[in-house]
Structures are given as C-alpha cells and as structure tokens.
Amino acid sequence: MSQASAAHAPRALPPPTPALHGGKDQVKKPGFGVFSPYNLFYYCPRCATWVLKELALRDSRGRPTCPRCLANLRTRPRNPARRWEP
C-alpha cells in the first residue's frame, strides 16, 4: 500500500520562469533588416510587383503611383513587425 500511495503523490511543479517584458532581453521578430527592398523600390499591391523609386509616377498630391496600373504604391511594409528602422 505504501507503493500505491507514493505513485499517486502530487508532483512538485518547477519554479515559474520570469516573463520578459521589453528591454534588451526581448526577442525581436525577424524583418527585412538592413537590406530592406523599400530602400530602392516601392511595392504595387494591385500588380504585385516592385517598382523602382525612379520609375514611379507621382499624382497631384505627390504620392507615388504605379506606371502600369496607376495604383498607389506601398512605401513601407504593412506589418509593423517587419518595419525597418535605421
């Protein structure tokens, strides 16, 4: 009977690990890094192509537009985790 009671004894839980909230210990999600394509290109979501900054047209408000379909070009990533900050 002593063996049966020892088999059903509750296990000791490991000590809780401290949660990391920001600071230098926080792991950053992978993004474009230093070699971001937005340094040289704009992205057209309608054509799904990259357009050189020199080849992009400008509308009356100065926004870059696609030379193929005249859609507004994306100048930075939509996902904030992938944004490149120098």
For residues 80 and 28, the model is more confident at 80
pLDDT given for residue 65 in this prediction: 97
Q: Note whether residue 15 is domain-resident.
A: no
Q: Note whether residue 5 is domain-resident.
A: no
Overall average pLDDT of the 62-82 stretch: 89
- For residues 55 and 67, the answer to whether their CB atoms sit within 8 Å is yes
Give the pLDDT band (50/70/90) at residue 19. low
Overall average pLDDT of the 47-59 stretch: 95
Q: Note whether residue 70 is domain-resident.
A: yes
Rank 10-14, 48-52, 81-85 by mean pLDDT and report only the highest. 48-52
3-class secondary structure, 61: coil
Q: Note whether residue 73 is domain-resident.
A: yes
* Amino acid at site 53: K
Q: Note whether residue 17 is domain-resident.
A: no
Question: Per-residue pLDDT for 25 more than 80?
Answer: no
Parallel, antiparallel or unpaired: strands 41-44 and 49-52: antiparallel
Which residue segment(s) compose the domain that 86 sits in? Answer: 32-86
Tally of structural domains, the chain: 1
